Structure 1
Amino acid sequence: MKVYIRLMLAMMVVLLISACGQTKDQSADEPAILDVKIDVKSPIELQKKTEIACIVTYGKEKVNDADEVKFEIWKQGNDQHEMISAKSKGNGKYAIEKTFTEAGTYSVVAHVTARNMHNMPKTDVIVGDNAGSASKHEESGSDHSHHDDAAGVAVTLHPQMFTVNKEEPIVADIAYNGQPLTAAKVRFEIWKDQMKHEFIDANEQGSGKYQAKTVFKEKGTFSVKVHVETNELHEHQVKQVMVQ
């Protein structure tokens, strides 16, 4: 009887060790996501050097060896876009210095390529004390006259991990000036590399939550552009998701 009990205890120990090992292996096999957060103050003073930066991470790792980091900057209502290469400052930070000479609302996109992935988050900043009124005056009558309202739009996309060839919901939580944005028209534009872009209309679930279902037919990193429209604003932000 004692021998039997000892054998059972030994088998339980082996099973526990095996289970722990599988858990560690599974965690190690889970691919990380390239995440980019833009760091810039707003409003920005005119005629003064201002740092525009982003923090690049891959999972829990700070990325200091990105293949390329550039900032695309343009004044809303102006077709001229400026592309500036950023320098690494260490600890995952990449930055440029720019002096703005005209008041208005500007869009800033960080183009980051690292770990065989690409991420391009966007934010809007106000330059000068009277930037809001100046921007509205310059863009009045144009199709983009409501863009300067988009500075307060925040989009959170989840989940960030999908399974290939499986229909799953993709959800965007959208806030405007810190409050859930309701009654908006939301579309997901999805693509990978040079693949054809797919557009999917999202349904509102309440409290600023918009959802659609999709099937990713390939593994890899996909870009998802979330288009947000209301009578007052028209905004889009690009996120990245991983399909395995």
Structure 2
Amino acid sequence: MKKLFFTALLISALAIFIVGCGNSDNKNGQEKTTMEPLEVELNVQEKAKVNETIQLSSLVTQGKEKVSDASEVKYEVWEDGAKDTTSKMLNAKNKKNGTYTSEVAFDHDGVFNVQVHVTARDMHVMPKKTVIVGSPDPSNATSSTDKKEHDSENSVVMHFMSPDHAKAGEAANFTIHMTKHNELLTGAQVQIEAWMKGDEKPEWIKLEDAGKGEYKGTHQFDRAGDYQLKVHVENNQGLHEHQDFDFVVK
């Protein structure tokens, strides 16, 4: 009789444990699907004097929470039209209140771009703003057509919600959340152009519209190395934008 009693007790305890684990898994799954996107408010003054030190500040939030645990925040600065030759990266200081700051000075007249790269909680956001320094030569000014393209580029915010690395020979799952003018971007055609740094031939990854501004796709990388990802976004209203992300395959 005692043996039957202890057997029944063991079975009951095991059932409670399994139910508890199931509830925990459901809860975790629910938290994943309801995770809010990362938002980054970049604050940079629009005009500056030559050799004037200006402050760069970004407020990082997720929903109503101020994000103070970003894994990486850097500011990229370059002269308009000469990114390949003038781009430089500046480390940001974490103020522990959701704000990340740095500072920069420009040694000559011109139009400069400031872009903050924020990586936090498996998401990557990179808004950009322009600073006019001194009195730029009008002959070097960006044309109205180019300005429209720059303004359009700033209108789409991409939240790279996938991990920043994958394993060679295994499927890598990509999820990108997109907004345009603070509204969910749906119905777009999204592709990722991926190439290993030093190579010229890219691989193309098509992402499907999963609704609610999310685009998802899967790809297997055969070789380990440092990759560059360029996300291309187009739609039937003439939208055509792209953003670059770093990606590591181990």
Instruction: Name the TM-score, length of structure 1 as normaliser.
Output: 0.56
Give 2:157's aligned residue.
154
CA distance in 2, matches of 1:172, 1:189: 14
Residues 51 and 107 of structure 1: CA distance in aligned 2, closer, same or farther (over 3 Å): closer
Give 2:102's aligned residue.
96
Between the aligned residues of both structures, percent identity stands at 21
Residues 178 and 141 of structure 1: CA distance in aligned 2, closer, same or farther (over 3 Å): closer
Residues 9 and 159 of structure 1: CA distance in aligned 2, closer, same or farther (over 3 Å): farther
One-letter code aligned to 1:98:
V
One-letter code aligned to 1:78:
A
Give 1:81's aligned residue.
87
Residues 105 and 95 of structure 1: CA distance in aligned 2, closer, same or farther (over 3 Å): same
Give 1:41's aligned residue.
43
Contact preservation (8 Å) 1:105, 1:124: no
Aligned alpha-carbon RMSD (Å): 5.4
What's the offset of the Cα at 1:163?
8.5
The one-character-per-residue Cα deviations of 1:193-222 (angstroms, maximum 9, x if unpaired) are 889853223345666544433235589998
2:10 match: secondary structure = helix
One-letter code aligned to 1:200:
I
Which of 219, 227, 231 is matched with 1:226 structurally?
231
Contact preservation (8 Å) 2:46, 2:130: yes
CA distance in 1, matches of 2:98, 2:124: 16
CA distance in 2, matches of 1:191, 1:19: 45
State yes or no: 1:62 paired with 2:59: no
CA distance in 1, matches of 2:213, 2:109: 34
What's the offset of the Cα at 1:75?
4.0
What's the offset of the Cα at 1:176?
1.3
What's the offset of the Cα at 1:140?
2.6
What's the offset of the Cα at 1:4?
1.3
Residues 13 and 203 of structure 1: CA distance in aligned 2, closer, same or farther (over 3 Å): closer
Instruction: Name the TM-score, length of structure 2 as normaliser.
Output: 0.55
Residues 194 and 202 of structure 1: CA distance in aligned 2, closer, same or farther (over 3 Å): same
Contact preservation (8 Å) 2:77, 2:112: no
Contact preservation (8 Å) 1:119, 1:239: no
Give 2:185's aligned residue.
181
One-letter code aligned to 2:80:
Q
CA distance in 2, matches of 1:70, 1:44: 19
2:13 match: secondary structure = helix
Give 2:245's aligned residue.
238
What's the offset of the Cα at 1:9?
0.7
CA distance in 2, matches of 1:220, 1:7: 54
Contact preservation (8 Å) 1:139, 1:145: no
What's the offset of the Cα at 1:73?
1.0
Give 2:205's aligned residue.
200
2:127 match: secondary structure = strand
One-letter code aligned to 1:179:
E
State yes or no: 1:139 paired with 2:146: no
State yes or no: 1:108 paired with 2:115: yes
CA distance in 2, matches of 1:151, 1:173: 15
What is the aligned residue count? 218
The one-character-per-residue Cα deviations of 1:133-164 (angstroms, maximum 9, x if unpaired) are x99x8333887861232112112344549986
One-letter code aligned to 1:7:
T
CA distance in 1, matches of 2:188, 2:56: 33
What's the offset of the Cα at 1:123?
1.6
Contact preservation (8 Å) 2:165, 2:247: no
Residues 168 and 87 of structure 1: CA distance in aligned 2, closer, same or farther (over 3 Å): closer
1:202 match: secondary structure = strand
Contact preservation (8 Å) 1:226, 1:236: yes
Contact preservation (8 Å) 1:182, 1:206: yes
Give 2:6's aligned residue.
6
Residues 171 and 98 of structure 1: CA distance in aligned 2, closer, same or farther (over 3 Å): same
